[in-house]
Structure 1
Amino acid sequence: MKAFFLLVVLSLALVFAGCQTEDKVNLEAECSTDADCAAAGCSGQVCTTAEEAPMIITTCEYREEYSCLEQTNCGCVEGQCSWAQTEDYLSCLENLKS
């Protein structure tokens, strides 16, 4: 009886040890560091993965707001490649509206 009880306790300990929480990894994340992202497109206006950047084809037009991209970086933000919403970048965009 003691052996059975000990076996049950050990089995439960193994089960619960395997149920420890692990750091959650976003399997849908396209990036984990800024180096995983790159600017693409004819005017460098698209922020995408470094892997996809060479294959991105856009029309070659220039819009005034593209000049504001000099005030920011294409990088990894919460698992997605996007332009960092820096104060300088947002201010530049706002100035173009006026």
Structure 2
Amino acid sequence: MPAALFGILLSALNTVLGFLVRSVVVKFVTFFALMFIVKEFMMVATAWGVFPNASRAQALTSTLAYIPASVWYFLDLFSASTGIATVVSAYATRFIIRRIPLIG
């Protein structure tokens, strides 16, 4: 009887270890690699000047100065700044996710 119990415990341990190795460890390694790739991509993109710098921000600020106060009222009323930031962030996230071969 104890030999049968040992076999059951060994089988349960084997199943749990198989689950851990197949799913948890593989997913951890995969997502760590994706995080590392995205982090390095962002560092390269920053070095290449893909993101806006001060001169581009100054040009945008001077362009927004021409918007009249009546339009600013409605933009503030509808929280356009939050909405635009959310939409741009969603498009950037969609762009990045679609470039991942296994997901997009």
With the length of structure 1 as denominator, give the TM-score of the two structures.
Answer: 0.36
Greater relative CO, 1 or 2 (CA 8 Å, sep 6+): 1
Rg larger for:
2
Write 1 or 2 for the structure with the bigger share of strand.
1
